[in-house]
Chains A and B, each alone.
Chain A
């Protein structure tokens, strides 16, 4: 059974239809890359999955259990939304670390408030995550004392601390200096071997090609093309995909 099944998600803001029916599924442990030009609805899709936006139509389920169905959202209480959204984690383009807390506290805050274990367990797990993203020497530092790449690695550890079934990344390296993108992409790559299921919105074509099991190319709110990296990058069927790929390769 797929870990995630997304069924005909639609979303509009005012008169513009941003998502025009998105359907896909993902197996446990798979990495899905979503590519597409800016404005095509990639962020909106991730925000719908994380309940930051409410889709107008469609549904999605995690491990066979429906966690969202636009047809009966009114029945969802705030507590239920909180529980359902914890199937997902989201790493933002702009990190959004909590500036007043040090790195350790940034990671332990949410598990502590949600009472996901004893303080010692939470602390130990946070330290393990910090080691995994290679920042053990920064554990007592504050976000403002870290580089962008380091902040993003903390944000990844913070999201992992809630043990989401599916971790979403929204252009995790777009706000970084080119020199710092490598360290973040390496951390994401390492998570793949750790059996995490991930959805990565990215403009890093080489990364998408090398790491993903599946690639989706989005254009104007629809999935224009999807398949294995080999299919989408090697033999794109759609004219739009070919045009997009050639312009994004030009940039490199």
Chain B
């Protein structure tokens, strides 16, 4: 029985990891685009992006997930996600990526705006282009500043993936909970906590390592 539980939990955890990795892969670059939008000098774009970020950060992720999954079917009578598990996974990822991209964008924006004007000007008077200044001078300094807040968000994401179970994406909580009904076992659900703990522990070590690596310079 134990073996059966572990196999099932492992499979659930793989789904959790998949949600986690795909969300990061989408939200990290999308967040940068949103950050640039929210700093745009073109006011209508800036206003639009800021409103969007406000809505996403001002409402629960669970609600966003439900709206994104059920909304198209209920409002437009067109369930764009289809009925299968694939469609549910894509809907969950869409909700997670949008939500986390907005949080990341605010962290990026804070990081970018905290870089001294003199760094840009030093690059300019040396004849560098805007792109060179961003990628060769500003970016690493921004990364150094945002590692602590980003690691916070990313560790929160590990646990937020469990929200996927409300639209029946079979991640690890779902897998653990299933044993209550099927076999009357409660411990598999509690046991899932160990997976989260272990994974968050690894991430904490990784971010600590990155922070230390970037400690060779001060701004």
Which residues of A are in contact with B by a Cβ distance under 8 Å? 50-52, 78, 82-83, 85-86, 88-90, 92, 94, 96-100, 109-110, 113-114, 142-144, 158-159, 162
Cβ-defined contact, B217 with A89, below 8 A:
no
Contacts of A86 in B (CB 8 A): 127
Which residues of B are in contact with A by a Cβ distance under 8 Å? 116, 118-119, 121-130, 132, 136-137, 140-141, 144, 216-219
28 A–B contacts from the bound complex (CB under 8 Å): A50-B125, A52-B121, A52-B125, A78-B129, A82-B129, A83-B127, A85-B124, A85-B127, A86-B127, A88-B125, A89-B125, A90-B125, A92-B118, A96-B116, A96-B119, A96-B121, A98-B122, A98-B137, A99-B141, A99-B218, A100-B140, A100-B217, A110-B126, A110-B127, A114-B128, A142-B216, A142-B217, A159-B125
Cβ-defined contact, A94 with B118, below 8 A:
yes
Cβ-defined contact, B127 with A82, below 8 A:
yes
Q: CB < 8 Å: which of A50, A92, A94, A99 contacts B217?
A: A99
Contacts of A109 in B (CB 8 A): 126, 136
Contacts of B125 in A (CB 8 A): 50, 52, 85, 88-90, 159
B145 to chain A, nearest CB (A): 12
Q: Max chain B CB contacts within 10 Å: which of A52, A89, A99?
A: A99
Cβ-defined contact, A99 with B127, below 8 A:
no
Give complex CA distance A92, B119 in Å.
11
Cβ-defined contact, A92 with B121, below 8 A:
yes
Write the chain B residue with the least CB distance to A98.
B137
Contacts of B122 in A (CB 8 A): 92, 96-98
Q: Max chain B CB contacts within 10 Å: which of A52, A89, A98, A144?
A: A98
B73 to chain A, nearest CB (A): 49
Give complex CA distance A62, B50 in Å.
45
